[in-house]
Structure 1
Amino acid sequence: MYGDVGWGGQQAQAGQRSPYDGRPQQYPQASQYGDWSQEQQPGYGGQQHQQHQHQQQHQQYDTSGQPQYDQQFTGHPQQQQFHQGGWDATGTHGQVPYAADPGDPYGQQPVAYGGEQPDFYGTEDAYPPPEPPGRRRPEPDPEPAADAEEEHGVLPGDDEDDEEHELQGRRERRGKGRKPVKSKKRRTGCACMVVVLVFGGGLGGVGYFGYKFYQNRFGTAPDFAGEGSSQTVTVEIPKGAGGWEIGRRLKEAGVVKSADAFVHAQGTTPGGDGIQAGAYLLKKEMSAASAVKLMLDPRSQNNVVVTEGERNTNVYAAIDKRLELPDGSTKKIARKQYKSLGLPSWAENNSDIMDPLEGFLWPATYPAAKGMKPEAILKQMVTQAKQKYAAYGLDGKARELGLNNAFELVTVASLVQAEGKTHDDFRKMAEVVYNRLKPTNTETNRLLQFDSTYNYLLGKSNIHISEKEINSNPSPYNTYTHKGLPPGPIGNPGEDALKATLNPTDDGWIYFVATDGTNNTEFAKTYAEFQELKDKFNASSGN
């Protein structure tokens, strides 16, 4: 019936390709076996045999000749075993593996019915025989192949699990045309809602930033009116703060309504850029113009100013006054807490030193208002001095200048600051100190003989000291009787004095006299020159 398919009672050899190259075979006379091609293939729902070859069930027959449907392909095709004498009496089907053809892309997939499997029903000995026409059922009308492929979503021959395809096909047929439409509508509605929200949010953002841009460029900055309320507040302005930073701090303290208003007022007020760092006592809810005007008034400042050469005792008293504390409060705290204030590691504190913080309260302006703690203010001063000294590398410079360490260099700087009267004096005064400290000094025998060290000891500034008084005081700060440097600094040197200490003159100066008793200091290289300067001083002072 099927020409030279090559049955002859023999099974195809393993690896032998079908003359149809793996494509489904079409049977022109399949209608006579209608029961076999349609009815006995469960799960197809009336679909044609050639459209669902990947879900084909393999039929098994017992000795009675009745078809059995207990076995179904699940991805590994079972080949029916046929012998010379007919079917295997045991009723089982042997599995005959076929080697994959390298040229066939579907070589590893289940073999479709009638594709590469020999057709045993096309011969005279086909078993079992077709059912009588009376037992056949009418064939359902086949659906177009395109619909089947669209419904299942796969091509014939795909290597997916047959059972899963069958269940999926049933679910799609039951709910076809309903759920996908609803899901699609929901997705479309959500997409529209997202677009509306994004578009609306974008318009809102553009409008808001456009309004802010207009306000910044052309609008009037928010501002209070008048000179403020009765409530006062202290605002600290750090060093180097500009108009925006000052305005921001004032706004946070409730002094002005906006930083923009303050910047505008500062720019339109003569001298507005002269606002210095420090603490200011201001009123709340002031107009920006009033705030600028008050900050330019020194009476509004709550600051402690450490001047160049000032001693610590004066600084302590100024802090007590600003913080409205009893006299001596800051001095007591300094003595108890000096170790926790951040002194450099090379700072000394032996029993001869009168104040461990002397020389470490850097000359500058510091905020000091009621409510602040003295130790916090002192720590700012020490931190500033530590940073300045570190920047100059005092340890290395000290050894170059014949000193032992940075602490001695700060002590020399404090002497230069105390004895020098003008900027021009500082470098000469530094040379005088170094020359008197030299072991080769035969003029003063390494005695500094500075009135400033003795005055520091007494806490005074009187330069008229009698010889009897000087010789009777054994303190190591008495440089008339003790050789070398005093135990520590005698004040807080400024930057000019520090620079001069690091870069002294080299002219041979070893004597000096304030010939007018105040500002005019003259220097000498020999004792004879010194006597002449001393006579000049006595004449000017009436001695």
Structure 2
Amino acid sequence: MTEYGRGAGREPWHPEDPLYGDQGWAGQQAVQGQGPYGGQPQHYQQEPQHSQPQQPYYDGGQHQQPQQPQQPQQPQQPQQPGHPGRPQPYNDQQQYGQGHNGGWDTGAHQQQEPVPYGMSPGADPYAAQQPAYGGEGPDYYAAPEAYPPPQPPNQRRAAPEPDRAPEWEPETEAEEQHPFFTGADDHDDDAYDDDPRESRGGRGGRGGDRRGGKTKKKKSRNGTACLFVTVVLVGGIGGVGYFGYQFYQDQFGAPEDFTGSGTGSVEVEVPKGAGLGQIGSILARKGVVKSSGAFVSAATANPKSQGIQPGVYPMKKEMSGKAAVDLMINPSNLNALIIREGQRNVAIYEEIDKKLKLDAGTTEDVAEKEFKDLGLPEWANDDPDIKDPLEGFLYPSRYDIGGKSTPKSMLKEMVTRAAAKYEAANVEAEATRLGLNSPMDLITVASLVQVEGKYKHDFDKVSRVVYNRLKPNNTETVGRLEFDSTINYIKAESRLDIGAVDDLRQLRDPYNTYDIKGLPPGAISNPGAEALNSAINPKPGPWYYFVSVTADKTLFAVTNAEHEKNRQQYEDELENSGQ
């Protein structure tokens, strides 16, 4: 068997194999004594081999060639890795027959039996062979553009004849076949005959649909599709333009607004913590302004809009944003009742009647008859001489007036708030700590501090004067408070000159502190949080007297003589001021 796995003949595996040079298969024979590789010698000097039978040869691991008759022993040629049969020079450091990783066996393998042609042998002794002799030759069958692997002569395919047409058709660009554009689904089955045969056109849908030899012209939908697309585009552009305009108006355009001060009347309640945007939305829902933006724009331009308070506002409909802001920044337009610290119940009843547009005395009558149903604490109204059980329990604050407000509902809201404040201050325990008879006495002290202490920074000292005068060992006032505020409470007045002391002591009334010792039966005003805190925490000191000379100056004294000097200074201040 010759090298390169050939059979009996000298025909090469491929006519275009460049390794064969000019002596390939173009009708020429190899020169005697030369191999088919362009003049390379076919035989090389070989070292002695081990005595071993010749093994069958496998062509590429796929087919076994029939064993040839025994020829005279020729020197074995080394094989090129990846290209069996091509002679290569020996490597000086690797000898035939020596152990080599991936090289030829040294005789340890056994003789294999021949395998019929066309069957796969058990193993290819050359399949995993590494270059055994130093150099790496090019593998012309491994690259994508390599020659096809060799085939036996009986399985080779003849080259196509020059005048024979190729077996493939040139590819053409596919035409659009979607039924939306071609109208392929727009056919009428009744337009065809009953012949079930159908002739298809060429590739890409050419040739049309034919039934029974008749070709039906398809209805084109190109015009309808274009019209549909045009409508969609026009509609989309219109929608984008509309929303773009709205966005521009919202961001940059002037908001919709009414003109003028409005007409009619509507009540609007602004909740606590509401911002300008929320207020504008409330006004727009009520029909006061045309848009929230109109109010927000006008409020932003007016720095006083930050003073808009929560509460109920009597508004008009269809007001401009500026008119709505101007009305709401004026506290007098807020439909609410504001109770001042130290204000008496009599004045509060009158204001409720005015706010609710009721006859004078209506609220006072409700307070007198229904005070037990308004939520007073259990310790309140603990003395039969108390003139008004609600005095001291109409807590100073602002109370919104709505369409459903009544004298009873408003009074109950005030009492409920006062009770909660007093409970939070723990007045029951504090009254016991201070040596008072009841929590009601503590509220009474707070009401006195609120009225007598003209300024809040004096409340702590005024509270100490009250507690010092209540002491049994008080030699300055002999246990009497002698506060002018109690006389004004009795007379429902607010005067500085209340008369001579001897005359005042002739007034018989349980609230007359010039006559009685100790506290009056109940509060004389509605104290605020500061006065209550000072009543609970009086400042330590020996003072029994005080007089306010100016707004920033209050003089406190321990003895009556010192107090008279302070009073003279007060009168001088009044004279110099022209009062």
Q: TM-score range by the shorter chain?
A: 0.5 to 0.7
Residues 153-180 of structure 1: CA deviation (Å, up to 9, x unaligned): xxxxxxxxxxxxxxxxxxxxxxxxxxxx
What is aligned with 1:227?
260
Please tell me whether residue 474 in structure 1 is matched to residue 511 in structure 2: no
| Higher RCO, 1 vs 2 (CA within 8 Å, ≥6 residues apart) | 1
Deviation by residue 1:220-252 (Cα, 9 ceiling, x = unmatched): 797441235421122233444333443344344
Amino acid at match of 2:457: D
On the 8 A contact 1:229/1:285 being kept in 2, the answer is yes
List aligned pairs for 1:291-440, cutoff 5 A: 291-368=324-401, 372-440=405-473
Shift of 1:415: 0.3
Could you say which residue in structure 2 is the equivalent of 1:504?
Answer: 538
Give the Cα separation in 2 of the matches to 1:344 and 1:223.
Answer: 53
- Cα shift at 1:345: 3.0
Among 521, 524, 545, which residue is 1:490 paired with?
Answer: 524
- Change in CA separation of 1:356 and 1:252 when aligned onto 2, cut-off 3 Å: farther
| 1-structure distance, mates of 2:299, 2:549 | 48
* 1:458 CA drift (Å): 1.1
User: Shift in Å at residue 397 of structure 1?
Assistant: 2.0
Give the TM-score normalised by structure 2.
0.52
SS in 1 for 2:474: coil
- AA matched with 1:473: L
The partner residue of 2:489 within 429, 436, 456 is: 456
Q: Counterpart amino acid of 2:503?
A: E
With over 3 angstroms needed to count, the CA separation of the structure-2 counterparts of 1:249 and 1:530, relative to structure 1, is same
- Distance in 1 (CA, whole Å) between partners of 2:347 and 2:243 is 55
* C-alpha displacement of 1:540: 6.0
Matched residues in 1 for 2:383 and 2:468: separation? 26
Unaligned runs of 5+ in 1: 1-206
CA contact (8 A) 1:304 1:365 kept: yes
- 1:512-540 Cα offsets, whole Å, 9 max, x none, are 23457x88532111233223334445666
For residues 403 and 440 of structure 1, what CA distance do their matches in structure 2 show? Answer: 16
Give the whole-Å Cα distance in 1 for the aligned partners of 2:253 and 2:389: 55
Going from structure 1 to structure 2, the CA distance change for 1:417 and 1:242 (only over 3 Å counts) comes to: same
Segment of structure 1 superposing worse, 473-482 or 439-448: 439-448
Q: Sequence identity of aligned pairs in percent?
A: 45
Q: Per the alignment, do residues 399 and 216 of structure 1 end up closer, same or farther by CA in structure 2, a change over 3 Å counting?
A: farther
Structure 1 distance, partners of 2:354, 2:314, is 15
Amino acid corresponding to residue 422 of structure 1 in structure 2: Y
Deviation at 1:412, TM superposition (A): 0.7
Q: Does 1:236 align with 2:269?
A: yes
Question: Does the CA contact (< 8 Å) of 2:257 and 2:294 recur in 1?
Answer: no
Are 2:258 and 2:289, in contact at CA under 8 Å, matched by a contact in 1? no
1:304-349 residue CA offsets vs partner (Å, 9 max, x unmatched): 2211111111111112122221111111111122222222333225
Per the TM alignment, residue 217 of structure 1 is displaced from its structure 2 partner at its CA by 7.1
Q: Which whole-Å deviations, capped at 9, do the CAs of 1:65-123 have from their partners, x for residues lacking one?
A: xxxxxxxxxxxxxxxxxxxxxxxxxxxxxxxxxxxxxxxxxxxxxxxxxxxxxxxxxxx
Report how far residue 260 of structure 1 moved: 5.3
The amino acid that maps onto 1:521 is T
Contact 2:501 2:514 in 1 (8 A): no
Letter in 1 for 2:528: G
Change (3 A) 1:225 1:523: same
Which amino acid in structure 2 is aligned with residue 351 of structure 1?
A: P
- What amino acid sits opposite 1:498 in the alignment? L
Q: CA RMSD in A?
A: 3.2
The TM-score, its normalising length taken from structure 1, stands at 0.56
Greater gyration radius: 2
Match of 2:310 in 1: 277
**Structure with the bigger percentage of helix:** 1
SS of the residue 2:556 aligns to: strand
Shift, 1:375, TM fit: 1.8
Q: Which amino acid aligns with 2:481?
A: L
Q: What CA distance in whole angstroms lies between the structure 2 residues aligned with 1:324 and 1:471?
A: 41
| Greater mean deviation of Cα atoms: 391-400 or 216-225 | 216-225
Structure 2: stretches of 5+ with no match in the other structure: 1-238
Alpha-carbon contact 1:277-1:365 (below 8 Å) kept: no
Contact 2:262 2:320 in 1 (8 A): no
Letter paired with 1:333:
V
